[in-house]
Amino acid sequence: MRALGVVLTAALALGLAGCGSSDSAQVHATVEEFVHAVSTHDAKTVCEKVLAPSLVARFTQEGLSCERGIQIFLASVRDPTLSVGRITVNRGAASALVLTGARCQKMALANLLLVKTSGGWRIASESREASSRRTC
């Protein structure tokens, strides 16, 4: 039942990403899509629907496909959590303050930087500050 709730919430968030919703709501939906894709280890969605083209290009510069690079990252992530805080939008750029964590990893406060593309809002980079609190 919980899994159905997660799927319905993600579907609702994705539905709100279009249909004239505010930029802030669209940014929030992109961040939520990222969390869902990471929690289900869906590298394809991360690469095709969440990351900015400039970030995807970094993988190829390093000799990896985006999907392979994300798969390597996802191999170390168990039970990810993310809480979205303040979202700031300034024309074609946005930031989302988030608290992230995963099993046996330190909680971290991160600022996701997003850009508006022809495909919607995409995560271009992040900066983080690790906290001392571990989650296991």
Q: What is the pLDDT of residue 96?
A: 95
Q: What is the pLDDT of residue 80?
A: 83
In order along its 136 residues, the chain shows pLDDT tens digits of 333 333 333 433 444 444 568 999 999 999 999 989 988 999 999 999 999 999 999 998 999 999 999 999 888 888 888 889 999 999 999 999 998 888 888 888 999 999 999 999 999 998 876 555 555 5
Q: What is the pLDDT of residue 102?
A: 83
Tell me the CATH number at 111.
3.10.450.50
- The domain tally of the chain equals 1
- Residue-range definition of the domain harbouring residue 84: 2-134
Q: What is the pLDDT of residue 45?
A: 96
Q: What is the pLDDT of residue 30?
A: 96
Question: Residue 53 in contact with residue 125, Cβ under 8 Å?
Answer: no
Q: What is the pLDDT of residue 14?
A: 41
